[in-house]
Amino acid sequence: MMKNEYKVQLNNISKKYQDGDQENLVLNDISLKVKPGEFVAIVGPSGCGKSTFLSIAGALLSPSDGSVIIGDTKLEKKESRKLTKIRREKIGFIFQNHYLLPYLTSQEQLQLVIDLNKKNGKPDMNALEMLEDLGLSASAKKYPDKMSGGEKQRVAIARAFMNDPDVILADEPTASLDGVRGRQVVEMIKKEVIKHNKAAIMVTHDERVLDLVDVIYRLDKGELKRQDNY
């Protein structure tokens, strides 16, 4: 067990794909550390490897080189069952297109995550409280097809916190929303990240919301560079 001040650490991550005879280096020796309560944005043109980066941080993909530490757990090339357990207990995903389950109400979406984590010993989160906090009390019993895009994305934010994760990973959370609603959504992520003291990484190409985050990194040609003067 390693106790450290960072909730998520990516150390010297590289990811190569074999493309015919050529080797395609998507991520080249990338390192990133995020503390609790810190909201980090990763920007870059499409095709720059943002998705690959997020997949590796989210225990969906193993890097070719380097190590990922989430909370106190180091992910290596583990069997997929263990990665599933890490996603279940330590990672909160906010997906690009909300990706709620069409057959569950908002409250049930959240409860599903709580139920999945019944046995891990952490105190249960309260779904209704979280919905209220995000101004979704009226939508608790609504199915996704009865909600607006902004509401759905807020439910998705709430869901990401329900397993009391070490890190929140947001994949283009504003992509399907207009400017005003997109900004509201990022504001809410920020609010909850501070309130629950989580490390958060947001991958985005929406430069209008970057004033809300603590640190900005730019990913270009497989390399990650910190941008201090934004």
Q: Which of residues 60-79 bind another protein (CB under 8 A)?
A: 60-61
Cα–Cα distance measured from residue 147 to residue 136, given in angstroms and rounded to the nearest whole number: 10
Residue type, position 210, single letter: L
* Region of 3-11, 29-37, 99-107, 124-132 interacting with another protein (CB under 8 A): 99-107
Per CB under 8 A, the list member of 7, 87, 152, 198 interacting with another protein is 87
**3 state DSSP class of 186:** helix
- The H-assigned helical ranges of 17-118 are 50-57, 80-90, 106-116
> Residue 4 or 80: which CB sits closer to another protein?
80
- For position 214 contacting another protein by CB under 8 A, the verdict is no
Q: How far is the CB of 5 from another protein (least distance, A)?
A: 25
String of DSSP letters for 12-44:
EEEEEEEETTEEEEEEEEEEEEE-TT-EEEEE-
Site of interaction with another protein (CB under 8 A): 46, 50-51, 54-55, 58, 60-61, 81, 84-89, 91, 93, 95-97, 99, 101-104, 108, 112-113, 116, 143, 159, 163, 171-172, 175
